[in-house]
């Protein structure tokens, strides 16, 4: 048993890789706009406190705020893309898409996918940490401190956005989409909160925690092994940027507990596995889309994971669409089928167009 465990441990490590916060303020109506091209004036609440001077204005319809919360240590950014008609049509409410970035990334990665700037919806890009994995961590006393990413996003950011911006605050008009680490997060969030999200998409996601390679990807981020599994972290449309690291090294059990399948030590991994039939069944009323290439060591495994999820979804009778673009030739000239924005940007263009149609059909 010990030799088998050590072998699995070596393989995983080297593979290529609490409760909701009490509302602190009641926000009856969305905040009013400041004049000109200034971003909307947002009010603190739902456990989020804006950092004075922490707002960045990128353009008239593109801004970033900085917030703090007891749920996740340190200040964190939330980037927002508004439709161009948001100010000129003050009586209109808008659907919302939440975009979850990949490991080693940040909210500015969204700039690499022009389709995320839509005139048909608001796009919100919350910080997911260098290795947050969109989870409430098992260990809260590591060097990174409090790490309740799921609570931060679902119980704080979502109601904060609905209270401050003119959203259509129902599941039929709310989507979650992510890539790589964020692809895992998007599928998990849709499963954990089907009351919030009627649409979900995972691009090159690590979505099957039964796979040793996927568990190895999580371990790589915990142990800051930048050469193993790394989402592109720079906002370059060509996807040529390289991950610069996952931050301070933490215990390999920090996020989901022990990854080793011995005496049920990996029970948390199994409980939150996006690919498990029990979790997938929560998507019965959710439009779900999976995108992946199959080139390179990373997307070779994301393709396997996506095929498994699609097969199980079909058995459950779910509305799951799989786009395996293989070597990328069927998707776009920029795509080589690998783990990069050269593929993700056109995949997001395809998805956002379909999401726009779905939102319109729900009106």
Question: What does the pLDDT average to over 231-258?
Answer: 69
Instruction: Report if residue 164 sits inside a domain.
Output: yes
Q: How many domains does the chain have?
A: 1
Provide the token pair at 240: 């040529």
C-alpha 94/C-alpha 121 separation (Å) is 5
Looking at per-residue pLDDT, the higher value among 231 and 359 belongs to 359
Instruction: Report if residue 36 sits inside a domain.
Output: no
Quick: pLDDT tens for 29-70. 444 444 457 899 999 999 999 999 999 999 999 999 999 999
Closest alpha carbon to 129 in 120, 118, 137, 121: 137
What percent of the chain has a predicted confidence (pLDDT) above 90?
82
Looking at per-residue pLDDT, the higher value among 88 and 1 belongs to 88
pTM above 0.75, yes or no: yes
Instruction: Report if residue 282 sits inside a domain.
Output: yes
Instruction: Report if residue 40 sits inside a domain.
Output: no
CB 118 within 8 A of CB 352: yes
Q: Following DSSP, what letter does each residue of 120-181 receive, concatenated?
A: SSEEEEE--TTT-TTSB-S-SSSTT--BBHHHIIIIIIHHHHHHHS-B--SGGGEEEEEETH
Assign residue 271 the CATH number of its domain: 3.40.50.1820
Element (H, E) at 2: helix 2-14
Report the largest interatomic distance among the alpha carbons of the chain, rounded to a whole angstrom. Answer: 68
Instruction: Report if residue 246 sits inside a domain.
Output: yes
Identify the domain containing residue 162 by its residue range.
Answer: 2-14+49-362
Instruction: Report if residue 357 sits inside a domain.
Output: yes
C-alpha 266/C-alpha 209 separation (Å) is 10
Closest alpha carbon to 24 in 53, 51, 49: 49
Instruction: Report if residue 25 sits inside a domain.
Output: no
Instruction: Report if residue 41 sits inside a domain.
Output: no
Provide the token pair at 248: 């301070």
- Per the DSSP assignment, residues forming a β-bridge with 65 are 78
242 — pLDDT class (breaks 50, 70, 90): low
């Amino acid at each position: 048993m010990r030799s088998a465990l050590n072998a699995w441990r070596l393989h995983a490590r080297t593979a290529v890789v609490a409760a909701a916060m009490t509302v602190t303020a009641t926000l009856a109506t969305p905040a009013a706009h400041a004049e000109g091209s200034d971003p909307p004036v947002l009010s603190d609440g739902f456990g989020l406190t804006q950092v004075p001077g922490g707002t960045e204005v990128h353009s008239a319809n593109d801004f970033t705020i900085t917030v703090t919360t007891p749920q996740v240590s340190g200040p964190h950014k939330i980037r927002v893309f508004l439709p161009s008609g948001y100010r000129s049509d003050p009586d209109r409410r808008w659907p919302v898409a939440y975009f979850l970035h990949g490991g080693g990334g940040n909210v500015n990665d969204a700039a690499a996918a022009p389709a995320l700037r839509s005139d048909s919806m608001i796009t919100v890009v919350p910080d997911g940490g260098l290795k947050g994995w969109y989870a409430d961590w098992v260990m809260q006393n590591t060097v990174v401190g409090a790490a309740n990413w799921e609570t931060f996003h679902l119980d704080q950011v979502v109601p904060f956005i609905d209270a401050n911006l003119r959203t259509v605050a129902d599941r039929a008009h709310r989507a979650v989409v992510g890539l790589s680490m964020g692809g895992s997060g998007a599928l998990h969030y849709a499963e954990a909160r089907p009351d919030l999200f009627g649409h979900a998409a995972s691009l090159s996601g690590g979505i099957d925690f039964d796979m040793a390679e996927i568990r190895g990807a999580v371990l790589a981020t915990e142990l800051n092994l930048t050469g193993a599994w790394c989402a592109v972290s720079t906002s370059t449309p060509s996807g040529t940027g390289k991950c610069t690291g996952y931050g301070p090294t933490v215990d390999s059990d920090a996020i989901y507990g022990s990854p080793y399948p011995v005496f049920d030590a990996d029970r948390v991994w199994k409980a939150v596995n996006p690919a498990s039939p029990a979790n997938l069944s929560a998507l019965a009323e959710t439009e779900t889309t999976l995108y992946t290439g199959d080139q390179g060591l990373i997307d070779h495994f994301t393709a396997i994971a996506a095929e498994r999820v699609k097969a199980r979804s079909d058995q459950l009778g779910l509305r799951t669409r799989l786009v395996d673009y293989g070597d990328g030739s069927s998707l776009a000239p920029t795509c080589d089928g690998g783990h990069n924005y050269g593929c993700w940007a056109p995949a997001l263009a395809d998805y956002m167009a379909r999401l726009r149609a779905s939102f319109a059909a729900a009106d």
